[in-house]
Amino acid sequence: MGAGRRRVLTAAVTVVCAVTVLAAPGAAFAAPAPPPDPGATASVTVVTGDQELEAVRKKLESLYRAAAKATDEYNAAEEKARQQTAQVARLAKRIAEGREKLAGLKDRAGAAAAAQYRSGGLPPEAHLMLSDDPQDFLDGADRVRQGQHAAKGLIGEMTRTQEDLEQYAQDAREQMRKLEAGRKAKAAAQQRIEKRIEAAEKLEAELEQEEKERLALLERQAAARAQATWLSSGVLDDVTSKATAQGREAVAYATAQIGKPYQWGAEGPNTFDCSGLTSRAWLAAGKAIPRTSQMQWQQLKRVDVKDMRPGDLIIYWADASHVGMYVGDGTMVHAPRPGRTVTLAGAGSMPILGVVRPDPAVE
């Protein structure tokens, strides 16, 4: 790598580091350094060869991990928006039905008032007191009681319907407020995703083709070292569980997507992000699971690594920002990151947070 290229690459790494730091919440800003003495020669630290590329690899990993976390936030906001939109639709239907019911009750009340008007405006009790026939009096008393009971029931039903309408309207307003908050959260997450990906792509664009190939080799070597360390721990020595019927279907779907591009926020059929692949694979197997890797980690049953079986989901990194599906023999299938495609990889090639099982009821 020539001195000029090294300076460009070093500058690019420095700029990306600065972007990452400035974008971090609560970042502290130091006072600007004084300008150098005009007579002094500025010193530039240049790291050569694979050391420099290793720094690039780690920075890219950091940027794409930040993008993955933001993608999970985006997907969670998208999922909530779908649920809230459906809830608003249900509430709107209830409001329409409630208004129709209230109108019917008002018609009944109006009919009762009209009947009383036609009888001379006297209430039933007055007609009863004017009766000279004892039997008519007794029969009439029973009818009056029934009429009073019906009137009270009608008034009570109208009151309850009106209260329901007010509650539905209040619930709809709250769901709309949540939808707006979710829209803002989704937009903010999208901005974070795009900034991280843009910074990573800019950094990679500074590399020559030969450097990109060496960088890819470094990535494979780092993954291989992590996988070898994981396997050498004996973690798979006791793994004997076989896939369930649903698990086999989920694995078949996920592995059939190998070669399709990663796209943040996508859940098929042509592009996927990591949790889009796992959630869609299990849906194809007849089991709906949470949409994001973080929700999968939080809501699905956790199992020990020694008990995992094909179809189980392996959650990666301490923030649960990545997920892959175990397919057996120490291997998983996943959608890695922007610029990559769905692929098989060592299950221990990244730091494992834990394993979750979508179909725990089937043993």
Is 334 designated active site?
yes
CB atoms under 10 Å from CB of 350, counted, come to: 23
Token code pair at residue 311 = 């179809």
CB atoms under 10 Å from CB of 114, counted, come to: 10
- Residue from 17, 127, 149, 334 carrying the catalytic annotation: 334
- Residue from 17, 127, 149, 322 carrying the catalytic annotation: 322
Instruction: For the chain, list the strands marked E by DSSP.
Output: 301-303, 313-316, 322-328, 331-334, 343-346, 352-357
Burial class (CB in 10 A: 0-12, 13-18, 19+), 174: middle
CA distance 62 to 80: 27
Token code pair at residue 110 = 């109006």
How many residues can be counted in the chain? 363
- Residue from 17, 127, 149, 274 carrying the catalytic annotation: 274
Sheet holding 301-303, edge to edge: 301-303, 352-357, 313-316, 322-328, 331-334, 343-346
Is 127 designated active site?
no
Angle at 214 between CA 213 and CA 218, to 5 degrees: 120
Nearest 10 degrees: CA dihedral of 208, 210, 216, 220? -160
Annotated active-site positions, please?
Answer: 274, 322, 334
